[in-house]
């Protein structure tokens, strides 16, 4: 395993190790406690990464924002993605998957247009008119609720590098070994409590209680966290 991967050996290859996303965030925050993250900012990937990122921000005292990234899904399967688009327009396609699924050029172009519109709408819904945080000199900690293929996270990392971010860390409760190794090659440190291998892998299997997070729920969590942070600053 790569030297810049920090995991919990006791949780390797285990399933149902977290009660839910909040518990997973607490575990991750504990793993990161001894590392220097001064002035770092947590960037949660919506929607599932938002409750994880918000709880981590509470535990660590770090700032919270979002990094909107969305996969480009197959026309006949909304769960399977053949690429992803990030908040700044950064785009990557899984060329092998495009070939294997025999997608036409028109289908790919339509998928890209649809996903770009979705990302722009989510940015407006979750960030409003706030300017993007300055990230060049700050450690950026990308957070999601898990890595299956890791492709969406790769695009998020690429977008931050494009913005000039010098130090990128990734923190996820669970990941497939291949995805963890791939992402670790592109960032300074990857924190992952539960790393699993094998042919069959699902992010949800790491959680005893799993539900999808809606965009409205992510928006409410971000608003609540912002309100709590503002209240603390007023004292």
Contacts of residue 8, defined as CB under 8 A and 6 or more positions apart, other chains included, come to: 27, 31, 193, 194
Residue spans of the domains in the chain: they are 5-67+136-233
User: Exposed (0-12), middle (13-18) or buried (19+): which is 106, by Cβ within 10 Å?
Assistant: exposed
- Whole-prediction pTM value? 0.93
Tell me the pLDDT band of 54, cut-offs 50, 70 and 90: very high
The answer to whether residue 128 scores a pLDDT higher than 80 is yes
- 5-67+136-233 sits in which CATH class? alpha beta
4-18, 70-84, 202-216: the lowest-pLDDT one: 70-84
Instruction: Tell me what pLDDT residue 191 has.
Output: 97
């Amino acid at each position: 395993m790569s030297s810049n991967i920090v995991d919990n050996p006791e949780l390797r290859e285990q399933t149902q190790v977290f009660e839910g996303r909040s518990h997973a965030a607490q575990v991750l925050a504990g793993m990161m406690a001894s590392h220097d993250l001064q002035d770092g900012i947590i960037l949660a990937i919506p929607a599932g990464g938002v409750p994880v990122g918000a709880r981590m921000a509470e535990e660590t005292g770090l700032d919270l924002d979002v990094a909107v990234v969305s996969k480009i899904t197959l026309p006949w399967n909304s769960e399977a993605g053949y690429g992803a688009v990030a908040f700044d327009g950064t785009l990557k396609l899984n060329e092998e998957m495009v070939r294997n699924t025999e997608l036409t050029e028109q289908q790919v172009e339509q998928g890209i247009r649809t996903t770009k519109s979705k990302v722009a709408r989510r940015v407006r819904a979750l960030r409003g008119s706030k300017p993007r945080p300055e990230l060049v000199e700050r450690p950026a900690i990308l957070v999601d609720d898990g890595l299956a293929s890791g492709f969406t996270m790769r695009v998020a990392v690429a977008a931050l590098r494009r913005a000039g971010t010098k130090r990128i860390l990734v923190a996820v409760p669970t990941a497939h070994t291949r995805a963890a190794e791939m992402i670790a090659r592109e960032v300074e440190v990857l924190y992952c409590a539960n790393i699993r291998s094998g042919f069959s892998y699902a992010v949800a299997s790491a959680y005893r209680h799993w539900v999808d997070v809606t965009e409205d729920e992510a928006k409410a969590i971000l608003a609540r966290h912002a309100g709590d942070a503002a209240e603390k600053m007023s004292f």
